[in-house]
């Protein structure tokens, strides 16, 4: 059975950038519904006693969509933290500067990619096995977990992620997003990737 993970922050920690009301709907209803639907779909199937990641990599249709959305949302929550002027680790800053020119260029490119994604989906910072960073968009429930890339950071650009706070202004949501990015988590994912594939 797949569990709804606890949020890594309190319901008010992201204010004023993401409101407690948005969190109550986004986490308490949307994310929870994906978990509940997934558990109903996998009951008495081969997926009932396997990991979420295994379900995503081997399923399709409704099972994949709900499983991937559970994973994507969990990853998204871990990418967020109470505002604290965090910065990427020195190693990650160097990699971002190498592949995007500067931190500012990266954030602008990422924001523009997220803003420009048509419809519902996710914007990701990912890294390849040869340590190249890139920005990719995925539609609906698609996730880097089914690719050769490792996810480092994501922004949920489904409307339910921001509509109660910024209505139809996705650019304002992206501006708010950078104030609450959990760079410690993103940097940790980068370090884990280097340890897995070799720091060359």
pLDDT tens-digit readout, 20-78: 999 999 999 999 999 999 999 999 999 999 999 999 999 999 999 999 999 999 999 99
> Cβ distance 70 to 2 under 8 Å?
yes
Which pTM was predicted?
Answer: 0.97
45 in Cβ contact with 61 (< 8 Å): no
Query: Please, which residues have CB within 8 angstroms of residue 105's CB and are 6 or more apart in sequence?
Result: none
Per-residue pLDDT tens over the stretch 100-158: 999 999 999 999 999 999 999 999 999 999 999 999 999 999 999 999 999 999 999 99
Can you give the residue ranges of every domain in the chain? 20-78, 90-197
Return the H-helix or E-strand segment holding 183: helix 183-197
Task: Give Dmax over CA atoms of the chain in angstroms.
Answer: 51
Q: What CATH code would you report for 20-78?
A: 1.10.287.990
Tokens of 189: 């994912």
Q: Which residues pair with 135 in a beta bridge?
A: 125
Q: Token digits for 108? A: 């602008």
**Coil, strand or helix at 180:** coil
SS3 71: helix
| Domain 90-197 sits in CATH 3.30.365.10 | no
């Amino acid at each position: 059975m797949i569990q709804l993970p606890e949020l890594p922050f309190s319901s008010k920690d992201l204010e004023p950038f993401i409101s407690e009301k948005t969190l109550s709907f986004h986490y308490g209803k949307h994310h929870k519904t994906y978990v509940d639907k997934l558990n109903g779909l996998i009951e008495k199937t081969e997926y009932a006693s396997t990991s979420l990641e295994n379900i995503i990599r081997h399923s399709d249709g409704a099972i994949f969509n709900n499983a991937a959305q559970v994973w994507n949302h969990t990853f998204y929550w871990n990418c967020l933290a109470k505002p604290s002027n965090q910065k990427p680790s020195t190693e990650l800053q160097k990699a971002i500067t190498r592949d995007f020119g500067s931190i500012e260029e990266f954030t602008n490119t990422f924001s523009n990619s997220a803003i420009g994604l048509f419809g519902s989906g996710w914007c990701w910072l990912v890294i390849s096995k040869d340590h190249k960073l890139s920005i990719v968009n995925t539609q609906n429930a698609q996730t880097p977990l089914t690719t050769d890339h490792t996810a480092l950071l994501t922004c949920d650009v489904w409307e339910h992620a921001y509509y109660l706070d910024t209505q139809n202004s996705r650019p304002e949501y992206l501006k708010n997003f950078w104030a609450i990015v959990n760079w410690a988590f993103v940097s940790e994912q980068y370090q884990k990737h280097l340890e897995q594939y070799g720091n060359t």
